[in-house]
Structure 1
Amino acid sequence: MTTPAERARRGRDARKRVPRSAHAVWIPSVDRPDPVAVLERQGRDRLPELLPIRYGRMAASPFAFLRGSAAVMAADLAAQPHTGLTVQLCGDAHLLNFGLYAGPERALYFDLDDFDETFPGPFEWDVKRLAASVAVAARENGHSEPKVRRAALEAVAAYRTAVRRLSRLDELAVWYERIDAERLLPLLRSARQRGRDGASLTRARRRTSLQALHKLTEVVDGRRRIIHDPPLIEPAGASDAAALRKIFSDYRSTLAGEPRLLLDRYRFVDAARKVVGIGSVGTRCFLVLLAGRDTDDPLLLQIKEARSSVLEEHLPTGPYVHPGHRVVAGQRLLQASGDVFLGWMTGPQGRAFYWRQLRDPKGSAGDAGMSPGELAAYARLCGTALARAHARTGDRIAIAGYLGGADTFERAVADFAVTYADRTAADHAALGTAVAAGVVRAAPGV
Structure 2
Amino acid sequence: MKTPRPSQRLETLSELRNLKMARSAHAYVRGSTVQFYEWLHSQPGRRLPRGPAVWICGDCHAGNLGPTGDSKGRIDIHIRDLDQTVIGNPAHDLVRLALSLATAARGSDLPGVTTARMLEGMMRGYESAFEGNVDEDPTRPPQVKASMRSAVQRTWKHLAYERIENTKPSIPLGKHFWSLSRAERAALKALCATDDVHTLVTSLKGRSKDDKVQLLDSAYWVKGCSSLGLKRYALLLGVGAGDDQEFCLLDLKQAVAAAAPRVPKASMPRDNGRRVVEGARHLSPGLGNRMIATRVLDEGFFLRELLPQDMKLELNQLSQSEALLAAAYLANVVGLAHARQMDLATRAAWIRDLKSCHTRTLDAPSWLWSSVVQLVGQHERGYLEHCRLYALHH
Superposition TM-score tier, normalisation by shorter sequence: 0.7 to 0.9
Q: 1:246: which partner in 2?
A: 190
Structure 1 residues 22-421: aligned runs within 5 Å:
47-79=10-42, 80-85=46-51, 86-163=53-130, 165-166=131-132, 174=134, 177=135, 179=137, 183-184=139-140, 186-187=142-143, 199-215=146-162, 216=164, 218=166, 224-230=169-175, 232-249=176-193, 252=196, 259=203, 262=209, 265-293=212-240, 294=242, 297-312=246-261, 316=265, 318-338=267-287, 340-348=289-297, 350-363=298-311, 366-394=314-342, 395-404=346-355, 407-408=358-359, 410-412=364-366, 413-421=368-376
Q: Measure the CA separation in 2 of the matches of 1:257 and 1:135.
A: 39
Q: Judging changes above 3 Å, is the alpha-carbon distance between structure 1 residues 404 and 151 closer, same or farther for their aligned structure 2 residues? A: closer
Moved over 4 A (4+): 253-258, 312-318
Greater CA deviation, 137-146 or 312-321?
A: 312-321
Q: Measure the CA separation in 2 of the matches of 1:369 and 1:299.
A: 34
Q: Judging changes above 3 Å, is the alpha-carbon distance between structure 1 residues 389 and 419 closer, same or farther for their aligned structure 2 residues? A: same
Percent identity, aligned pairs only, is 22
Q: Judging changes above 3 Å, is the alpha-carbon distance between structure 1 residues 397 and 253 closer, same or farther for their aligned structure 2 residues? A: farther
Q: Judging changes above 3 Å, is the alpha-carbon distance between structure 1 residues 179 and 67 closer, same or farther for their aligned structure 2 residues? A: farther
Q: Which amino acid aligns with 2:18?
A: Y
Q: Measure the CA separation in 2 of the matches of 1:336 and 1:354.
A: 15
CA-to-partner distance for each residue in 1:24-80, whole Å, 9 max, x for gaps?
xxxxxxxxxxxxxxxxxxxxxx82321101111111221111101112111211322
Q: Which amino acid aligns with 2:299?
A: R
- Matched position secondary structure for 1:432: helix
Matched-pair contact (CA < 8 Å) for 1:179–1:385 = no
Q: Judging changes above 3 Å, is the alpha-carbon distance between structure 1 residues 263 and 374 closer, same or farther for their aligned structure 2 residues? A: farther
Q: Measure the CA separation in 1 of the matches of 2:97 and 2:180.
A: 36
Q: Which amino acid aligns with 1:432?
A: C
Q: Judging changes above 3 Å, is the alpha-carbon distance between structure 1 residues 373 and 82 closer, same or farther for their aligned structure 2 residues? A: same
| Residues paired across the two proteins, number | 370
Greater CA deviation, 338-347 or 258-267?
A: 258-267
CA-to-partner distance for each residue in 1:298-353, whole Å, 9 max, x for gaps?
111000011111115885555111111011111111014235431011111x2111
Q: Which amino acid aligns with 2:364?
A: E
Q: Measure the CA separation in 1 of the matches of 2:379 and 2:210.
A: 43
Greater CA deviation, 99-108 or 322-331?
A: 99-108
Greater CA deviation, 337-346 or 402-411?
A: 402-411
Q: Judging changes above 3 Å, is the alpha-carbon distance between structure 1 residues 73 and 403 closer, same or farther for their aligned structure 2 residues? A: same
Matched-pair contact (CA < 8 Å) for 1:57–1:278 = yes
- Matched position secondary structure for 1:337: helix
Q: Measure the CA separation in 2 of the matches of 1:184 and 1:401.
A: 26
Matched-pair contact (CA < 8 Å) for 1:254–1:343 = no
Deviation at 1:210, TM superposition (A): 4.1
Q: 2:6: which partner in 1?
A: none
- Matched position secondary structure for 2:78: strand
Matched-pair contact (CA < 8 Å) for 2:357–2:365 = no
Q: Judging changes above 3 Å, is the alpha-carbon distance between structure 1 residues 116 and 102 closer, same or farther for their aligned structure 2 residues? A: same
Q: 1:424: which partner in 2?
A: 379
- Matched position secondary structure for 1:224: coil
Q: Measure the CA separation in 1 of the matches of 2:140 and 2:273.
A: 32
Q: Which amino acid aligns with 2:327?
A: A
Q: Which amino acid aligns with 1:358?
A: L
Q: Measure the CA separation in 2 of the matches of 1:81 and 1:316.
A: 20
Q: Which amino acid aligns with 1:212?
A: L
Greater CA deviation, 283-292 or 391-400?
A: 391-400
Matched-pair contact (CA < 8 Å) for 1:57–1:64 = yes
Deviation at 1:90, TM superposition (A): 0.2
Q: Judging changes above 3 Å, is the alpha-carbon distance between structure 1 residues 273 and 381 closer, same or farther for their aligned structure 2 residues? A: same
Q: Which amino acid aligns with 1:396?
A: R
Q: Judging changes above 3 Å, is the alpha-carbon distance between structure 1 residues 104 and 178 closer, same or farther for their aligned structure 2 residues? A: farther
Greater length-normalized contact order (CA 8 Å, ≥ 6 residues apart): 1
Q: Which amino acid aligns with 1:323?
A: N
Q: Judging changes above 3 Å, is the alpha-carbon distance between structure 1 residues 53 and 253 closer, same or farther for their aligned structure 2 residues? A: closer
Greater percentage in helix: 1
Q: Measure the CA separation in 2 of the matches of 1:91 and 1:160.
A: 19
Deviation at 1:357, TM superposition (A): 1.4
Greater CA deviation, 247-256 or 292-301?
A: 247-256
- Matched position secondary structure for 1:273: strand
Greater CA deviation, 419-428 or 405-414?
A: 405-414
Matched-pair contact (CA < 8 Å) for 1:97–1:112 = yes
Matched-pair contact (CA < 8 Å) for 1:75–1:314 = no
Q: Which amino acid aligns with 1:81?
A: R
TM-score, structure 2 as length reference: 0.84
Q: 1:3: which partner in 2?
A: none
Matched-pair contact (CA < 8 Å) for 1:103–1:337 = yes
